[in-house]
């Protein structure tokens, strides 16, 4: 929704970002996690960054969640794969080796 709003009217970008960050914070996200989520260029990077920044308990809860019973706002459920943790670590390693900042 955020991306669609900004694509529709780029003048709304600062307001849309502030609203989205505040919504995430109200849902229990830290300000750091919410802002890191937004600065990523695409959904895959957003998911990977979020996965790195949340804790082990949150990752376990995300994998165990019943996505058939509740709405999932992620475009895929790739993170439920047993290989996902390793893929994200490899992604972070490539970013770090290219002097990009993950945290």
Distance CA 3, CA 13 (A): 9
pLDDT tens-digit map of 71-85 = 666 777 788 888 998
Tokens read off for 42: 């695409």
Flag whether pLDDT at 69 surpasses 70: yes
Range 15-25 average pLDDT: 85
Within the chain, residue ranges assigned H as helices are 2-8, 13-26, 31-39, 43-53, 56-64, 84-97
Task: Say if residues 33 and 53 touch (Cβ distance below 8 Å).
Answer: yes
Residue 1, pLDDT score: 60
Taking the mean position of all CA atoms in its chain, how far away is CA 1?
A: 14
Q: pTM of the prediction?
A: 0.65
Q: Look over the chain and give the mean of its residue pLDDT values, rounded to a whole number.
A: 81
Flag whether pLDDT at 31 surpasses 60: yes
């Amino acid at each position: 929704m955020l991306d669609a709003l900004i694509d529709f009217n780029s003048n709304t970008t600062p307001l849309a970002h502030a609203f989205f960050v505040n919504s995430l914070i109200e849902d229990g996200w830290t300000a750091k996690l919410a802002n890191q989520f937004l600065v990523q260029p695409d959904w895959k990077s957003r998911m990977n960054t979020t996965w790195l920044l949340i804790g082990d308990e949150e990752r376990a809860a995300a994998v165990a969640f019943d996505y058939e019973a509740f709405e999932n706002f992620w475009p895929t459920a790739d993170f439920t794969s047993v290989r996902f943790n390793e893929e994200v670590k490899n992604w972070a390693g490539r970013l770090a080796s290219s002097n990009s900042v993950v945290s």
